[in-house]
Amino acid sequence: MSAEVFVANEQDDRPVDCGRLAALAEAVLADEGIASSAELSVLLVDEATIASLNERFLGHEGPTDVLSFPIEDAPAPSSGPPVGGPTRAGGDAGIAPLLLGDVVICPQVAWRNAPAHAGTYEDELALLLVHGILHLLGRDHERDDEAEEMEARERALLAAHHRPDGGGVPAP
């Protein structure tokens, strides 16, 4: 059984393949050891909405590309140093789902940033989704060593699940 991923497209500025994002999120969660009894929500919103969330929760003005809002303690990722929290890989019949949290992405900002960042709009959305999920799982990029580790994990996950043909997203 894989984690349940809910994708809600609440914007109409840019087209989004919600099924592809859900499949990518499920694959990333499985690779990170979150294979069952877990729930993740992915929200695609307009610039006004993400700007409001950015100001309200981070104190930053204006729209951003992605925000992550963990609900429960972060599970330890399967690679890298443990970050603490419960893991739910394996059979969890009868146990309430592990609510990972929400990843909120602004497709309009992704569209603008894509040429200088990931290359294509689809690659940018995939990168933002993986980035947001890794934040929910306790990874960060505040220090240089953390940033290098997180970026390496993003590249590996994208190469495995977004562009398994070797055409993965370039390093940010």
Name every residue whose Cβ is closer than 8 Å to that of residue 59 and which is 6 or more positions away in sequence. Answer: none
Mind listing the pLDDT tens digit of every residue in the chain (172 residues)?
578 999 999 999 999 999 999 999 999 999 998 867 789 999 999 999 999 999 999 999 999 999 999 986 544 444 443 333 334 444 444 556 688 999 999 999 999 999 999 889 999 999 999 999 999 998 877 777 888 898 999 999 999 999 765 454 444 4
68: tokens are: 């992550």
Q: In 3-state terms, the chain is what percent helix, strand and coil (to 5)?
A: 40, 15, 45
The rounded distance, in Å, linking the Cα atoms of 172 and 165 is 19
Domains of the chain by residue range: 4-161
Q: Which CATH class is domain 4-161?
A: alpha beta
- CA-based end-to-end distance of the chain: 33
The rounded distance, in Å, linking the Cα atoms of 127 and 125 is 5
The rounded distance, in Å, linking the Cα atoms of 142 and 113 is 21
pLDDT at 86: 39
pLDDT at 114: 96
Residue among 39, 41, 50, 61 at smallest CA distance from 14: 50
pTM: 0.81
pLDDT at 118: 87
pLDDT at 73: 55
Name every residue whose Cβ is closer than 8 Å to that of residue 34 and which is 6 or more positions away in sequence. Answer: 3, 75, 87, 88, 89, 98, 100, 137
Residue 91: how many other CB atoms lie within 10 Å: 11
Q: Quickly tell me which residue has 């997180």 as its tokens.
A: 150
pLDDT at 141: 77
75 within 8 A of 37, measured Cβ to Cβ: no
